[in-house]
Structure 1
């Protein structure tokens, strides 16, 4: 306790009633929670098994468990229930779900399972051939996150669609019960239903858990809020910890009003920051104070002023990338930073692409001499070249470069669909393995009327003929035109945009995938500017980068971090580069309401407060968008940062 500051000590020792702990970024929130648990057990003689701590991630629960065990005897620490919301509900339902008509051996469905089941249920309820799943999935998710019934769904301008979604939701509930299956949302909704339907069950758990703590309370959705309210209503000892300034998950159903209107008997603010320098915190404070809907807080640095914040506006996206990488190399040399001490953060995943391409090619001096390729890892999203729409295009390029690449061929031979069924593929792959001949060669024979003994359907044969004709056109095109022009031709010829849009119904996902395709074309255009550019070399550079075993052996875990602002929440790095700080990126083009702009400002606040020592802010005056070069303006939020803590530089 002596190592805690006065506000932290107050948070630890205030154990009765409804307590709101407003924990600013880097203020020692986890430290307070674990000391609070230890204080309840050691000083208040509270039974460890009557303490419940709910978190949002397994990582957070595991860290709390480990740190509690360092403060009290391990056996006592084991008895404290520290869990995610979903794991906690899973344990309750394994014991009690028979009351709701399920058995305790229920299966948990993932997102793909649910999509298939929703499609199956919806198809049985309509005769329409073209069925849009996305509105149905979004509506069902909305109902579940808020703990609502089908009748509570907000009405739209399409009464027929509204009625259909209600029917699907009702049929889905029946099907889930018939299959004895739950999804992740159901773990929460059914636990609340259980407590509300069977008061004796609720009473049992209220008696067991007399002291309840909830971490990251600003991220709770209505059903989690209801769960916490039910469990704590008997004894009223509910301590919620969070920071409304870091509420960035409205798109997931989180409601900031839960922390803003929490009926606290005691409110404690943790404003002492143990992470960042004073200049970094002054920037964060200056930005976030422009939000109206918040608890007033001002982060104060435990460290000194530190460096001023560098900010630059590059003429183009590539010049921004080059300037950031130049500064990374300089920091590594001058401050002896490891790669993993540094992070590049961005608002949208697709902004990682130009950095990935340049990092792969950048030479740097290691202990063993000069090495090409800065090691990096992408969080909160797949590697650019691991995304399905890019992997498909890469498979086309691979089969052009190497006709014997069977893996690539199998990936795209029926994508977009050409009528080549799995059964047809099984038949010809068995034959080509038996004959020990390349699959493409066997397909060409079939196109020429050979191998009539194989049991292939007319539709399958037509599909094979179509693909071989396309393949011949592709190889001719790539031999006669530039790589990027050839790829553009291929994308148009196979109607790739239609294929992608047919896979996903969300406009946002369609836009993202199509932007990635445009980025792939841009990548080839950039590559072509180098000497001796060839398709083989381009593919080699992308494939080597995605060889995880190769990277691990070569670099260990010392890798530069690339991630979105969202993914960076809860993390910290000595040096942080916030890139793409332009209007329509942050704040995002689709966040134009007052609430949306406030959430975007909170998102930038989260990003700024990841930095410990060095923070660099950058943007570009022109950036590719949908294949065109568009002019960009600096983010409005940047003008909220005091000029005296900024060092405006040239990107050079």
Structure 2
């Protein structure tokens, strides 16, 4: 057997757990590559195998270089092909025999959606026999924090490498403080609205000085002008506190690269191979970051699925993945074989998402068989809906399933209450993802605040949280004076307390402040070693926190147990991250997400939003509240692009199911304090009837469960009537656009947004995707099929 044939056989055998399209992605390591990975298509397998190939074999598969092999090398390769040696034991020797232009671990940056995914990626690579020491597998935020820890001082903005990361609660506190100082009423503009506006601005790399105050009519807008004032002062306060919010982490890294070519060059030379997972959920700042890093080598591989782009509300833009092929001249590899779901579930998902215009052609398929039909069950009230779900879970457990095989998905957290109550009454163990997280508990936030101040003595928000916790007689007036001293003198809070006896405005409280400051100063010297968690014990004992908890009785004991769990987390972190200190631990705490703590082996039924379910799979999925005005929500119905986002969310929900999928709805439900009567969700109606089994329970009482097939007929026809009505409306909309074309420069009138000028027009599947500059509503992308639009 010649060398090239033997090499191909060995590499194909080594990566034999991948299908043909997956192998294509694994062996294509150079240049720009877009891997369109449909739901359940094994993208994690592809990511791991692709990196393993880069490390072990490099570009060997595509090389025609012929080598002379020794008899021992040939014999080893043939033993491997015969199955006498497994991948793990063969990896190092095969790499030496066949590897060409192998990639160094430290030249790889793999960006994942969660910290948990990054850890799992490295673990799987180690199990494949690859050397992962030096690989950066991290989220965007984690990777950028590491870069900023090293280089942020080169920005010349006053930031130091021990900066603090503010969470959303911390941000709101700063915003409220700024509003109070400027006498801005929260009736004029709400803190949360400002927070969102600042976040979206940073997503687009818009700094306070570039923040526009122009409204839709082109003149200055009061709310935008107010927001700019707050944004400007907010950013100044963060810098003074040596603190970054989540959006700063990306924005400042991009700014660092733009301002410091030597820094950019360093990281480009470091990361010669870049892979980005979940690319469909990147925003403008992340796109710019990736583009800058990839300019060095041009080796950029992104993995994603535009049909699972569901974070528009966080600033994600689907255009990043839709335009990637054209912008980077990328090869496109489609993964369409699904290893998770039955064919019926996939056909339903394909049918629903086909209604979107922002959609690349692909067709998920499965060889797992057709499976059961998808259920649509309608009830009189949400209580009956919840009871039905409870009964189905109990039936499933009787049949040998685990509680954890069942997930209840909802559009909004407010929908969980009734289901949660019913599960509890029935004795079904359950957990809610997205409820009060461990790190959001008061006592945990208190101890984290102490740790933050020890790490960064300038941290205004965290200092304000714990300076009088437990109570020390330090009131708001003293805190305000401390803030003025720190700001005016440019010193830290710890220094201000230590020197308070010589400061006239603080001398009255010096007996309390000086010893407090000295304790902070002393403990601040011991933040490098966190290996035994004793720093947390010191906080509990030296600041009187343990004693305060003990006075609270049983509740205090529970809180101390939670703090001990935090101590355990610190010790574990130190063991897993040799040489890491307090800064690194706080960074990990700040960047943890709900899904990082999700454990699938915990045998409890799961309740979560559809957004939280992304990337997960369950045997049985219940989608509750499948009703218009809930899913999709009322507001989204005025914006075609919002409807498309909601439809992508439906696609994500459907494709979480492996074998059984239920949609449920109620004739009427109490939600947000009012009784709602809604039609069945359009996303259910869009599923062809041959894949559905309908049951309308609302026409009978619970005691009439054993009804005849004849009695079922009028109830099962309800959804079929809904389908006919919906599709008739669809045909009517299609008739409006089938003989109409659009071109840039034309003036049009939209039923909701008013008059505007067409900027671009793209024919897409019997419809037109238009970008229109509306006179009063700004620039929007709309689908002509959904718009009541006429030319003017």
Provide the TM-score with structure 1 as the length reference.
0.70
Aligned residue for 1:82, secondary structure, equals strand
Per the alignment, residue 266 of structure 1 pairs with 331
After superposition, the Cα gap between the structure-2 partners of 1:93 and 1:310, relative to the gap in structure 1 and judged at 3 Å, is same
How far residue 302 of structure 1 moved from its aligned partner, in angstroms, is: 2.8
Distance 2:184 2:246 in 1: 30
Q: Counterpart in 2 of 1:566? A: 611
Deviation (angstroms), 1:56:
2.1
Structure 1 position 635, deviation (Å): 0.5
Partner of 2:367: 302
Alignment of 1:409-420 (within 5 A): none
Q: Which residue of 1 aligns with 2:409?
A: 345
The alpha-carbon distance between structure 1 residues 650 and 111, as it changes in their structure 2 partners (threshold 3 A), is closer
Pairwise CA distance, 1:68: 1.0
* 1:236 paired residue number: 298
Q: 1:113 to 1:382 in 2, by over 3 A?
A: closer
Q: Distance in 2 between matches of 1:82 and 1:590?
A: 38
Partner of 1:77: helix, strand, or coil?
A: coil
CA distance in 2, matches of 1:111, 1:26: 32
Verify: 1:595 aligned to 2:669, yes or no: no
CA deviations on 1:438-468 (whole Å, 9 max, x unpaired) are xxxxxxxxxxxxxxxxxxxxxxxxxxxxxxx
- Aligned residue for 1:300, secondary structure, equals coil
**Over the residues paired in the alignment, what is the CA RMSD in angstroms?**
2.4
- Given the alignment, which residue of 375, 386, 401 partners 2:429? 375
Which of 135, 139, 143 is matched with 2:197 structurally?
139
2:677 counterpart of 1:631: yes
Q: Distance in 2 between matches of 1:166 and 1:626?
A: 32
* Total equivalences in the alignment: 477
Instruction: Assess if the C-alpha contact under 8 Å between 2:213 and 2:228 holds in 1.
Output: no
Contact (CA 8 Å) 1:143, 1:149: kept in 2 or not? yes
Give ranges in structure 1 of 5+ residues lacking alignment: 363-372, 389-421, 428-546, 549-555
| Counterpart Cα distance in 1 of 2:441 and 2:692 | 37
CA distance in 1, matches of 2:361, 2:408: 29
Q: Secondary structure at the match of 1:577?
A: strand
Choose from 171, 185, 203 the match for 2:233.
Answer: 171
1:572-651 mapped onto 2 (5 Å cutoff): 572-592=617-637, 593-651=639-697
Contact 1:139 1:153 in 2 (8 A): no
Match of 1:7 among 7, 21, 24: 21
CA distance in 2, matches of 1:601, 1:203: 41
Q: Which consecutive residues of structure 2, in runs of 5 or more, have no partner in the other structure?
A: 1-14, 59-101, 443-467, 474-560, 563-600, 698-704, 706-792
> In the aligned structure 1, how far is the partner of 2:672 from the partner of 2:51?
52
Compared with structure 1, are the counterparts of its residues 339 and 214 closer, same or farther at alpha carbon in structure 2 (3 Å cutoff)? Answer: same
Distance 1:175 1:279, change over 3 A: same
Q: Using the TM superposition, give the Cα deviation of residue 650 of structure 1 relative to its aligned residue in structure 2, in angstroms.
A: 4.3
Equivalent pair of 1:220/1:254 in contact (CA under 8 Å): yes
**Contact 1:280/1:608, CA 8 A, preserved across alignment:** yes
Q: Which moved more, 1:50-59 or 1:99-108?
A: 99-108
Deviation at 1:127, TM superposition (A): 6.8
Give the alignment partner of residue 203 of structure 1, picking from 265, 271, 274: 265
Rounded to whole Å, the distance in 1 between the matches of 2:154 and 2:169 is: 28
Cα distance in 2 for partners of 1:646, 1:161 equals: 49
Could you tell me how far apart the structure 2 residues matched to 1:339 and 1:187 are? 39
- Contact preservation (8 Å) 1:309, 1:645: yes
Measured in 1, the distance between the counterparts of 2:382 and 2:51 equals: 49
Q: Deviations over 1:109-138 (max 9, x none)?
A: 222222222222333334769673233222
Distance 1:649 1:196 in 2: 59
Distance 1:267 1:326, change over 3 A: same
Shift of 1:152: 3.5
Q: Secondary structure of the residue that 1:374 maps to in structure 2?
A: coil
1:489 is matched with which residue?
Answer: none
1:212 aligns with 2:274: yes
Aligned to 1:485: none
Question: Which of 327, 339, 344 does residue 392 from structure 2 map onto?
Answer: 327
8 Å CA contact 2:172–2:192 kept in 1: the answer is: no
Greater relative contact order structure (CA < 8 Å, 6+ sep): 1
Q: Aligned partners of 2:186 and 2:685: how far apart in 1?
A: 52
Change (3 A) 1:266 1:650: same
Q: Does residue 27 of structure 2 align to residue 22 of structure 1?
A: no
1:193-592 → structure 2 map (5 Å cutoff): 193-262=255-324, 263=327, 264-334=329-399, 336-362=400-426, 373-382=427-436, 557-592=602-637
| Residue among 142, 146, 150 paired with 1:91 | 146
Question: Secondary structure of 1:21's match?
Answer: strand
CA deviation profile, 1:126-168 (whole Å, cap 9, x unmatched) = 4769673233222211211111122233623763333332232
Q: Aligned in 2, Cα 1:315/1:128: closer, same or farther, shift over 3 Å? A: closer
How many angstroms apart in 1 are the aligned matches of 2:337 and 2:187?
57
